[in-house]
Amino acid sequence: MRKLIVSPAPHVHGNESTRKIMLDVIIALAPSMLVAVYFFGLSAIRLLLVSVLVCVALEYVVQKYLLRRQPTVSDLSAVVTGVLLALNLPPTAPWWIAVIGSVAAIGIAKMTFGGLGHNIFNPALVGRVFLLVSFPVIMTDWTVPQSIFRPGVDAVSGATPLALVKEGLAQGLTVDQIMAANPDLTYGQMLFARAGGSAGEASALALIIGFVYLLARRVIRPHIPVSIILTVAVVSGIFWLADPSQYTDPVFNILTGGLLLGSIFMATDYVTSPMSSKGMVIYGVGIGLLTVLIRYFGSYPEGVSFAILIMNSIVPLLNKYIKPARFGKEAKHA
Amino acid sequence: MRRTFSMGGVHPNDCKISADSEIETFPLPERMYISMSQHLGAPAKPLVQKGDKVKTGQLIGASAGFISANIHSPVSGTVASVGPYADLAGNPAMHIVIDVEGDEWEESIDRTADIVREISLSPAEIIKRIADCGVVGLGGASFPTHVKLSPPPGKKAEFLIINGAECEPYLTSDYRLMVEHTEEVLLGARIMMKALGVVKGYIGIEDNKPAAIEAMRRLTESSYSEIEVVPLKKKYPQGGEKQLIDAVTGRKVPSMGLPIDTGVVVQNVGTSFAVYEAVQKNKPLFEGVMTVTGECLSVQHNFLVRTGTTFDRILDYVGGVPDTAAKIISGGPMMGKAVSNMAAATVKSTSSLLLLTEDQTRRRAEGECIRCGKCVQACPMGLEPYLLNKLSRAGRMEELEANKVYDCIECGCCMFTCPAYIPLLDYIRTGKADVMKIMRSRPKK
């Protein structure tokens, strides 16, 4: 008697898998990783390797020895967290910063909640913010990108564009005066390579290439990144039009402070973002609004990380109350 | 831009490898097993006893209520037994077993190949003839066709839509009918339009079947101008009744509502052909076109099979079940039923036997939900499969109902798309059944 498989329909599968999706995210991050390595060399490679290794190893150990479950590190989600964390660190940060950040990301933000699919907050962002409040000096010492392929030019320590503006405004300067004092702050440089900031922010163009790849592969939909960026443009545009001497313009706001990195790769994290299209737009608008408010009025110059984490916390509510459009109206009878 | 339904859907490979195999007449077996439960509703009542002689086309099972259908003998011969016999899932159902002797048809049936174009019957006579001939919907649900053509009081049909989407991968029986019996299918539609009193008909065909679209267009542009061919985008579940109505007319069947609430009646291509044969040739529904396919078979077939032929007989005829076949499905890969009993027999609506290898059909280990929302995007009914799965597993019936589990059409898009291989539909299906039971048990207001 031959054996046949008997199970309910559907009998075929589209062959999408968590692992393939994570691999696509890693591929989409490749341009940014390459840019980071190009500008910061060994330091960037070291941060990437340490973050990824610690994230994967910690997830494996927690699953195998604490939760006593079959480890699922082959789904590559811990690799994604590691890469994102490394790209969110100052490129010249010491290696142990990556270790502590990874422990906070995987240990606290992910595994404590039950692992993949159960965490409320984006693990890599929790890692970054944990470091930001614990080691504020190291975490805000940014190196202005200098290519390792141009020996003889030392890396220049400095502040991020947003921090420069914040400091300048605090000293009573206008935005125009600050820009004039810092000729490096051109849009062209921000777009292609020279925005000071974390390793992953060096090139906006590299991030946009990753965005296009994720869209083309249908890993993410445009709802979240587009609603964040449009909201930042509109809200900062209103302030800027009202008083250009005190408020930076929309293009500056979009190209700086990890807004693209956050919008494209952090806010779109499946686990911590809403399920429905409407929920995604509300979430994106919230992140955009909070980002601008924190940047203009908060004590930190950068607001993306905090904005995403705050909106992460209301995702369960959005999923509960914002339902997708149903097919067909409610029947009138009975 | 081809028309399509407004939300959700997935794009499985269409795998129509049997599309070019012409319809062959399947040889008569020695013994036939005719189920009395071939339709939605009450099983038919057997009218013959052991030892009775029957002719091909003779009424052997009588409709047992308004929602029920007549059953006719597919062969001539002697009744061997009347009693329970296992269906494809192994569940016993009343069957009439007939030993085949020759092939002597009822004299009233027109067996010529001539196309009869003039429709002489009145609407009421058409509906009666369709009921007499035991025609049921051949798109899957096997709903008695005469019931669908008799809208309840106060509801009026405006359009008839013939469903030629055949959106399930692998299936090609409707395609072959549209190509080889184009005019009969259109005549069937014209007959049903007369029965319904509607003047506008559509036939929706997915654009992966250009030959069918062209064949239909050639006739609708000349002699069947009341019927419009609507090419549809290849997207599953384009042939779902609610999705097809949406794609063709833009109207949305309300939640818990029926197609007639939008003024539309949908009938499948196979049904339309059966209606033509019943009304114009006085031929009851006792045979149908069936695809026998799968990459593991060396030859792909479309057979004209008498209802009641056993699956093992059909598979023997095509050379037996290959060693690589791991699952045999009656119907398509998205909504068909896995066969566990090879001795079971075909019913009126059996549209295919599909053989899949283990690689093609393996269910992989379930992972954690990564909340990607792909199931939400894929759901053509705008539901949240991840949530329904969770609620069903937790037995939270009130919330399942509040989240409209009853609107689920069980198309399988959610499970097809889930990257964590969660068997979403398994749990949604059971949750839906439980909720429907609770809803039916409530006193009517």
Q: pLDDT tens digit string along B378-416? A: 999 999 999 999 999 999 999 999 999 999 999 999 999
Q: Which residues of A touch B256 (CB under 8 A)?
A: 330-331
B56-to-A319, B39, B145, B280 alpha-carbon distances in Å:
59, 20, 22, 18
Task: Inspect the interface and report whether the beta carbons of A117 and B376 lie closer than 8 Å.
Answer: no
Does pLDDT of A152 surpass 50? no
- pLDDT computed for residue A257 by the predictor: 73
Does pLDDT of B274 surpass 80? yes
Domains by residue range for chain B, with CATH = 1-23+121-362 (3.40.50.11540), 374-440 (no CATH)
The residue among B141 and A207 whose pLDDT is bigger is A207
Does pLDDT of A158 surpass 80? no
Does pLDDT of B106 surpass 80? yes
Over residues A105-127, the mean pLDDT reads 94
Task: Inspect the interface and report whether the beta carbons of B326 and A4 lie closer than 8 Å.
Answer: yes
Q: Please report the ipTM that was assigned to this predicted complex.
A: 0.91
Which range (A118-132, A237-251, B24-38, B43-57) has the least confidence?
A237-251
The 3-class secondary structure across chain B, one letter per residue, is CCECCCCCCECCCCCCCCCCCCEEECCCCCEEEEECCCCCCCCCEECCCCCCEECECCEEEECCCCCCCCEECCCCEEEEEEEEEECCCCCEEEEEEEEECCCCECCCCCCCCCCCCCCCCCHHHHHHHHHHCCCECCCCCCCEHHHHCCCCCCCCCCEEEEEECCCCCCCCHHHHHHHHCHHHHHHHHHHHHHHHCCCEEEEEEECCCHHHHHHHHHHHHHCCCCEEEEEECCCECCCCHHHHHHHHHCCCCCECCCHHHHCEEEEEHHHHHHHHHHHHHCCCCCEEEEEEECCCCCCCEEEEEECCCEHHHHHHHCCCCCCCEEEEEECCCCCCEECCCCCCECCCCCCEEEEEEHHHHCCCCCCCCCCCCHHHHHCCCCCCHHHHHHHHHHCCHHHHHHCCHHHCCCCCHHHHHCCCCCCHHHHHHHHHHHHHHHHHHCCCC
pLDDT band at A201 (very low <50, low <70, confident <90, very high): confident
Which range (A79-83, A199-203, A211-215, A232-236) has the least confidence?
A199-203
Which range (A196-200, B27-31, B168-172) has the least confidence?
A196-200
Interface of A with B in 68-87 (CB under 8 A): 72, 75, 77
Q: Which residues of A touch B320 (CB under 8 A)?
A: none
Residue that is written with structure tokens 């048809």 in the block: B105
pLDDT band at B442 (very low <50, low <70, confident <90, very high): confident
Does pLDDT of B229 surpass 70? yes
- pLDDT computed for residue A333 by the predictor: 47
Over residues B355-362, the mean pLDDT reads 92
Does pLDDT of A155 surpass 80? no
- % residues pLDDT > 90 (chain B): 92
Residue A48 burial (CB count, 10 A)? 22
Q: Is B184 within 8 Å of B224 (Cβ atoms)?
A: no
In the structure encoding, which two tokens stand for residue B206, read together?
A: 């997915």
What's the whole-number average pLDDT of chain B?
94
- pLDDT computed for residue A43 by the predictor: 86
- pLDDT computed for residue A191 by the predictor: 65
Does pLDDT of A159 surpass 80? no
- pLDDT computed for residue B343 by the predictor: 94
Question: What sections of B79-172 are H helices per DSSP?
Answer: 123-132, 145-148
Determine the Cα–Cα distance for residues A214 and A222; give it in Å rounded to an integer. Answer: 9
**Pick from B337, B358, B416: which is nearest to A12 by CB?**
B416
- pLDDT computed for residue A157 by the predictor: 56
Q: Is A9 within 8 Å of B354 (Cβ atoms)?
A: no
- pLDDT computed for residue B80 by the predictor: 95
Over residues B70-78, the mean pLDDT reads 96
- pLDDT computed for residue A184 by the predictor: 67
Determine the Cα–Cα distance for residues A189 and A91; give it in Å rounded to an integer. Answer: 18
Q: pLDDT tens digit string along A10-61? A: 999 999 999 999 999 999 999 999 988 888 888 889 999 999 999 999 999 9
Interface of B with A in 384-413 (CB under 8 A): 384, 386-387, 403-404, 407, 410, 412
Task: Inspect the interface and report whether the beta carbons of B10 and A14 lie closer than 8 Å.
Answer: yes
Sequence-ordered list of residues with C-beta below 8 angstroms from that of B125, at least 6 positions apart, any chain: none
What's the whole-number average pLDDT of chain A?
87
Determine the Cα–Cα distance for residues A231 and A254; give it in Å rounded to an integer. Answer: 10
